Structure 1
């Protein structure tokens, strides 16, 4: 039901193998997608991932630090230069709208499409229904500036035909069943069969949480009660965080793993890694630390990795970054 493409997985600065934060999320059977964070260079990553700015429905910004938003205005400008006309939803801290307005004034920026701005604070209690199948809600995190997580709930309704009842009546399979499935009444043996009498509706829903920078994963405990997957930063290993100190206000792999175990999360994706861990040796350090404290299924995200969350809430990796060190990090794969 949800598809994830990582456009940037580095913290702070880009490196040769990882760009700064950006995550594309698409819906099954639709070309529409949303973007969570837009660090510098995100629009190039979007091109490389073959995503269309015309189908982009919303941008969600977790917080105002540059590695999460400095690519936003260039991306918006490019969408306009590519003749976008459709309105674009922007869900972000209020400072992002202020920054966009000032930049437009000072740089002669003209967007030929409307921006529908939504302050993240307004979605803390009441989710925004982005479409008939996708809603977005926010959660406060703890960082040097106000930071937020986004809860994405995708739903799918299906109508199931009561085949046993039709067999009992002797209605033959074929066109009659198809018409009823499509909501059309039919005539059979001189009587009208109302399609609604033979249809039942079932709804499936998946829940993914994408978090911004945060040094207190436990703030997401209540939200994670229904989550199928959490995507969260793991900037450092614990030994490095102990040396760096509390000033950066980031999570270690150990902190995140312990929280995920306590919250009984079945699936976890780690991202926003310090440049210390961008090679095979660094990735292995992160992996081993998570394995010590978390028994669920987890992945260490790389740029251009792709994942699919199906209707049953099962997460699978569908494409893997083409780096020699980018090996699966799930103990249960």
Structure 2
């Protein structure tokens, strides 16, 4: 099953050096989840050949502009392009007031339903699930209420050993029982033990998205053992005082978080406009956590 994330924006605060404010697109089994929607997200979707019409779920971490200023434009374009299926938005409650104000004063009546789920940054909780994935909020420590998101695949059904089943002349209508782990007892007395004719599916993978946050250990238990961790790394560690002042994280701290929680891989992003060259941030993180990569716009990372 496809499980991958494409970086649409990796800059903090402002667009700079051809880097755009934060936005990512998660593809889970060909269902698309937009994570944050900074200014220019529409243009990035077009640039990388991604159809906005495929997006049904939007997750907004907090209400600083570099994480949601692109949303009103994206929703308006969906309206103009004739969208009729609903869009699901998971975000801090006041965002709905902002959207309604924009639409009211532009006399825009959106032709599709906006199913809005307000988020409260108090405790981690499951905020969404379908047959493919469950999404859990991650309470972060920023200047305003802020949540990250943990996307975890649902466990798939067992895989059938088709050749063995055909050799035993097992009717196809029994396959669904085998996929669910059942043994088969036939009227002629035959017993097919599930473990001999199926194999377990792959372990579910997880993607954790930690946007703006002061580094501390409060959110680490939720992201433990994730397959891919995206963690903001706004500054080099020499700017630690500035990071603490603004409730952000350094590249070194992001790597320490990945190491502490046993992540398989780390992506760092949300880079300050003071850095035209990003290599020093990557090197700082790699010195602590080897399996670190930069979140490069237009790049798709397998989870």
TM over 0.5: yes
1:213-259 alpha-carbon deviations (Å, 9 max, x no partner): 001252321012241121011000011333x3632211011111222
SS for the counterpart of 1:143 is coil
1:60-104 alpha-carbon deviations (Å, 9 max, x no partner): 000100000000011000011111111111000011111111111
Q: Distance in 2 between matches of 1:18 and 1:184?
A: 50
- After TM superposition, give the deviation of residue 267 of structure 1 in Å: 1.1
* Correspondence for 1:237: 236
1:1-333 equivalent positions in 2, closer than 5 A = 1-28=2-29, 30=30, 32-121=31-120, 124-161=123-160, 172=167, 176=169, 179=172, 182-183=175-176, 191=188, 202-203=200-201, 204-242=203-241, 244=242, 246-279=244-277, 283-295=278-290, 297-309=291-303
Q: Distance in 1 between matches of 2:174 and 2:42?
A: 43
Structure 1 unmatched runs, 5+: 310-333
- After TM superposition, give the deviation of residue 106 of structure 1 in Å: 1.4
Q: Distance in 2 between matches of 1:246 and 1:122?
A: 20
Larger mean Cα displacement after TM superposition, 119-128 or 49-58: 119-128
Q: Please say if residues 157 and 201 of structure 1, whose CA atoms lie closer than 8 Å, have aligned partners that are also in contact.
A: no
Q: TM-score, normalised by structure 1?
A: 0.79
Mark the CA change 1:97 to 1:179 in structure 2 (over 3 Å): closer, same or farther: same
SS for the counterpart of 1:255 is helix
Q: Distance in 2 between matches of 1:306 and 1:138?
A: 23
SS for the counterpart of 1:219 is coil
Q: Distance in 2 between matches of 1:184 and 1:142?
A: 46
SS for the counterpart of 2:24 is strand
| Count of residue pairs brought into register by the alignment | 293
SS for the counterpart of 1:158 is coil
Q: Distance in 2 between matches of 1:136 and 1:190?
A: 44
Q: Distance in 1 between matches of 2:132 and 2:124?
A: 19
- After TM superposition, give the deviation of residue 263 of structure 1 in Å: 2.3
- After TM superposition, give the deviation of residue 277 of structure 1 in Å: 2.3
